[in-house]
């Protein structure tokens, strides 16, 4: 097969056809390379973009320079909403910032992650929901220049364009950030009316902002990622029954709204052991599963491909928790080849790591990861 453009390659693969090679992504949440430290080491190793200023939008997630994207032969480019100009960044202390939802985030010295603390909805009462200062989904500054930038990408490049999740979290994630995980889980049993009202209020926001977002860029994107971490390493955080009672009806509303305004593939990000929810996602019309955390329970790649490979595409798969930090470059190449042979057969695979690459991963292993995808991802797979 003659060489395809990145967009052609992406579209063929996610329509379960075999392109010239497996398409390559730099990862969800903008970049699979999480920290400034890891990104700087990679740039130094490659000897490119050394004079470029590090850009990141939150929690040190890197916005990659195009030199890096080209060097790693990545096929995607991410677009996201602007930060609302109505949000005034406030600090509780030198380590804690309050986001536009009123949730404080703390990053102690030495930590790689910020974590939500002091959830603002203190009591499971309907008046708490009513008086909370909700962000405005119609705030125009979120969309300033976005259509023009995305149209330019569509017309002047051949990248597959991916619309990143709005806030990086879905309604379940946002609910526990507002209420606290322990309290939300108890609310599902003890305070069903409050829980239902909270999820519906969040869904109203998501439906409205996705409508605005996709009326702006929906004509130009090839995939949209919706983030919803419902699982841990060993299984679901909530039972499938609770998911179907509270969360799934909200997902149905949100996904139906998304479908009205774009033909792009719908990708759902769910870390950990996602198996218990996959039949529900298929019923809801999800096209792509991310990040395929193969180190989690029930997430063996062959099992996923055998059961869902004709329905779902897979985005991710290379373990960043136990494998990538400790493997040799040669072992990385062998694992890439194995994963592509399983998940890439017949198309339906968008290659990247299964989560953010942490600073304990060497630049040599990062380069080995992406170069092996180019080398071993050519169709027909040997």
Q: Is the pLDDT score of 53 beyond 60?
A: no
Q: pLDDT tens across 207-255, in order? A: 999 999 999 999 999 999 999 999 999 999 999 999 999 999 999 999 9
The rounded percent of the chain whose pLDDT value lies above 70 is 93
Mean of pLDDT values over 85-94: 85
pLDDT band at 56 (very low <50, low <70, confident <90, very high): very low
Q: Is the pLDDT score of 38 beyond 70?
A: yes
Identify the residue with better confidence: 354 or 273.
Answer: 273
The pLDDT value given to residue 57: 39
Identify the residue with better confidence: 68 or 197.
Answer: 197
The pLDDT value given to residue 59: 52
Mean of pLDDT values over 95-114: 86
Q: Is the pLDDT score of 108 beyond 90?
A: no
Lowest mean pLDDT among 61-75, 181-195, 283-297, 299-313: 61-75
Nearest Cα neighbor of 314 from 347, 289, 339 is 289
pLDDT band at 51 (very low <50, low <70, confident <90, very high): low
The pLDDT value given to residue 208: 97
**CATH class as words, domain 6-376:** alpha beta
Q: Is the pLDDT score of 30 beyond 60?
A: no
Q: Is the pLDDT score of 147 beyond 70?
A: yes
According to DSSP, the β-strands at 96-98 and 104-106 are: antiparallel
The pLDDT value given to residue 254: 98
Q: Is the pLDDT score of 294 beyond 90?
A: yes
CB 19 within 8 A of CB 345: no
Q: Is the pLDDT score of 330 beyond 50?
A: yes
Identify the residue with better confidence: 82 or 258.
Answer: 258
Identify the residue with better confidence: 167 or 201.
Answer: 201
Mean of pLDDT values over 6-23: 98
Sign of CA dihedral 298, 302, 307, 310: positive
CB 75 within 8 A of CB 10: yes
User: Rg of the chain over CA atoms, in angstroms?
Assistant: 20
Mean of pLDDT values over 37-59: 68
The pLDDT value given to residue 248: 98
- The whole-angstrom separation of Cα 74 and Cα 22 is 11
The pLDDT value given to residue 345: 97
Lowest mean pLDDT among 60-64, 226-230, 275-279, 341-345: 60-64
Mean of pLDDT values over 5-31: 88
- The whole-angstrom separation of Cα 321 and Cα 96 is 27
Nearest Cα neighbor of 350 from 1, 5, 3, 11 is 11
Structure tokens, 373: 């995808």
The rounded percent of the chain whose pLDDT value lies above 90 is 75
Question: What's the DSSP call for residue 72?
Answer: T
Most confident of 92-96, 201-205, 356-360: 201-205
SS3 (DSSP) at 224: strand
Q: Is the pLDDT score of 58 beyond 50?
A: no
Q: What are phi and psi of 316, to 5 degrees?
A: 130, -140
Structure tokens, 305: 């491909």
252 Cβ neighbours under 8 A, 6+ residues apart? 284
The pLDDT value given to residue 137: 95
What are the residue boundaries of the structural domains of the chain, listed by start?
A: 6-376
Alpha helices (H) along the chain? 6-14, 36-46, 66-71, 126-131, 146-156, 171-179, 181-190, 192-217, 240-242, 248-261, 278-283, 301-308, 329-343, 363-376
Mean of pLDDT over the chain: 91
């Amino acid at each position: 097969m003659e060489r395809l453009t990145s967009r052609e390659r992406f579209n063929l693969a996610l329509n379960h056809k075999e392109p010239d090679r497996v398409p390559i992504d730099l990862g969800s949440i903008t970049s699979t390379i999480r920290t400034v430290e890891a990104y700087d080491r990679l740039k130094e190793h490659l000897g490119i973009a050394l004079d470029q200023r590090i850009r990141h939008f939150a929690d040190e997630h890197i916005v990659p320079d195009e030199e890096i994207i080209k060097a790693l032969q990545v096929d995607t480019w991410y677009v996201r909403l602007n930060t609302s100009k109505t949000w005034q960044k406030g600090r509780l202390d030198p380590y804690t910032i309050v986001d536009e939802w009123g949730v404080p985030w703390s990053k102690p010295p030495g930590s790689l992650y910020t974590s939500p603390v002091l959830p603002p909805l203190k009591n499971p009462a309907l008046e708490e929901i009513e008086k909370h200062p909700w962000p405005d989904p119609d705030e125009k500054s979120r969309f300033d220049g976005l259509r023009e930038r995305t149209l330019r990408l569509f017309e002047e490049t051949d990248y597959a364009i991916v619309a990143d999740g709005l806030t990086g979290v879905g309604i379940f994630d946002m609910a526990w950030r507002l209420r606290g995980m322990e309290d939300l889980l108890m609310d599902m049993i003890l305070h069903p009316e409050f829980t239902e009202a909270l999820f519906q209020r969040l869904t109203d926001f998501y439906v409205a902002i996705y409508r605005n977002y996709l009326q702006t860029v929906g004509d130009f994107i090839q995939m949209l990622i919706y983030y919803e971490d419902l699982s841990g390493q060993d299984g679901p955080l909530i039972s499938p029954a609770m998911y179907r009672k509270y969360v799934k009806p909200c997902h149905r509303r949100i996904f139906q709204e998304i479908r009205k305004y774009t033909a792009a593939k719908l990708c759902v990000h769910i870390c950990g052991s996602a198996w218990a929810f996959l039949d529900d996602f298929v019923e809801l019309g999800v096209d792509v599963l991310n990040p395929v955390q193969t180190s989690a329970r029930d997430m063996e790649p062959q099992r996923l491909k055998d059961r869902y490979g004709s329905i779902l595409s897979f985005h991710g798969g290379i373990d960043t928790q136990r494998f990538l930090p400790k493997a040799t470059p040669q072992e990385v190449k062998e694992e890439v080849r194995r994963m592509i042979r399983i998940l890439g057969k017949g198309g339906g695979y968008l290659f990247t790591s299964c989560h953010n690459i942490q600073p304990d991963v060497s630049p040599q292993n990062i380069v080995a990861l992406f170069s092996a995808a180019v080398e071993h991802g050519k169709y027909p797979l040997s």
